[in-house]
Amino acid sequence: MKKFLFTLGLIFTLQNICFASTSSSSAAVLTQPIPVDFIYINGSNNNNEKMHQWFLKGIKKFHPVLKAQIEKNEYTYKYLLNNGEYEIEPEPSNYFWGYKSQADLMFMREKANLLRSISPWVAFFVRNTIANIMHDAIWVQKTHNMVPILQELDAQIKADLKQGKKVVLLGYSAGSFITMEYIYSKAPYINIENWFKDKDIDEDLKILMKENPRKNTCLMAFIGSNMTMADPLGHLKINNNKSEFISAYKEMDDFTDIYCVPENSVIGIINYASPIPLFYSDMADKNLDTAMFYRLMYKYLVEHDFFILTANYADDPLGFPNGVNRTNADVKSFANLEFDNEEGFIYDYSRESSGRTFAAAHTSYWNTKKRFAKAIVKGYTEGHKYQYDPDTITKRYKKLQKQQSKNNKNK
């Protein structure tokens, strides 16, 4: 009897040990969150070591506050962090490109100083101030400067992906040009067969594509593959050398792997102090092929649970709002787009005041860390609700009806 009880006790003990071990292991698998790396990208006039340190110290102060605000807010915890499936890395990452423009900036300053002895002081001061502020924003847009930056940032992001991380990009000032160019150039939103359906190419090439499909690709791979090429007038030209075209098509998946960022790896962009509309107004030009690619990019972002949030202080003289916020339904109508799935959003939240002077507002985002972190959380919440919250949609619809009724009465 004693042997029996001992054996029975041993079995129960072993079962409990195994169960505890299995449960512990399963819990670890189920509850282990996916790390999300927040990569901060600097803006204009950050060319020397002093400004480099200003940037690093600023994001180091700000990041823990933003992390805490996102995690404690019920809405951002649910949607941005997928109910705890994602966890923001405790330390901020950064991509710093400031030193790259230093040589060109020194050349510009040297030329500006030629007028110092004959120019009125006020004119000289204004000229130099504008030149210093605007130089890097203009410099970074030039293709031969931007492409190496995108490639370096891409290598950093893909190193994160190899470690099982997701990424959010945060672009400060002219750094927002880099975040937007990265998604525009690197996101795999181009269906190759669909792109060539209405293009003037031989029918056998269309059959080749249909019978030998390739995965979706990005603009950088599309142009870099030698199937197409960009001309100076903003149009995409097809390579008329048929053998080169076929060879490039057969290798497209390799080009995509090299040049494009994998789907659902970068999950969002936060741009702040951003002057994008001032420098990228050609996005609205329907005569350029770039407009078509922006439409395809928008479709991709909405369908892949991607967010782009612009959060400027209202008193920031260089923070330009991205325009009127639109619903996906609005975009479907005026851009002739259809969405297979709707999860992502693009939203502008440029209403908060910095509480600083007009001149200091543009550089106050990290110094007002709690105020700005709350603005980001509020902007994300508003942007997501604007598209997907039933109560918000109902209120917006009633407000629109009321406005339309008022307009009809005034006619």
Map out the domains of the chain with their CATH numbers. Answer: 32-97+140-181+264-410 (3.40.50), 188-260 (no CATH)
Residue 34 confidence (pLDDT) above 60: yes
* Strand stretches in 188-343, DSSP E: 228-230, 236-238, 266-272, 307-311
Note the pTM of the prediction, 2 decimals.
0.84
Mean pLDDT of 373-391: 95
Query: Tokens 């705890």 appear where?
Result: 84
For residue 120, what pLDDT band results from cuts at 50, 70 and 90? low
Give the pLDDT score at 404: 73
In this structure, of 81-90, 287-296, 350-359, the range with the lowest mean pLDDT score is 287-296
Per-residue pLDDT tens for 125-134?
Answer: 555 666 666 6
CB atoms within 10 A of CB 402: 10
Question: To the nearest whole number, what is the mean pLDDT of the chain?
Answer: 83
CB atoms within 10 A of CB 343: 16
**What is the C-alpha separation between 272 and 311, in angstroms, rounded?**
5
Contacts of 327 (CB under 8 A, 6+ apart): 386, 387, 393, 396
Give the pLDDT score at 405: 72
DSSP output for 126-159: HHHHHHHHHHHHHHTTSHHHHHHHHHHHHHHHHH
Tell me the β-bridge partners of 355: none
% residues pLDDT > 70 (the chain): 79
Mean pLDDT of 365-370: 94
Give the pLDDT score at 232: 64
Query: Tokens 């803006």 appear where?
Result: 43
Residue 179 vs residues 159, 329, 373: alpha-carbon distances, Å:
17, 26, 19
**What is the C-alpha separation between 296 and 283, in angstroms, rounded?**
13
- Contact between 135 and 83 under an 8 Å Cβ cutoff? The reply is no
Per-residue pLDDT tens for 319-333?
Answer: 888 778 888 888 888
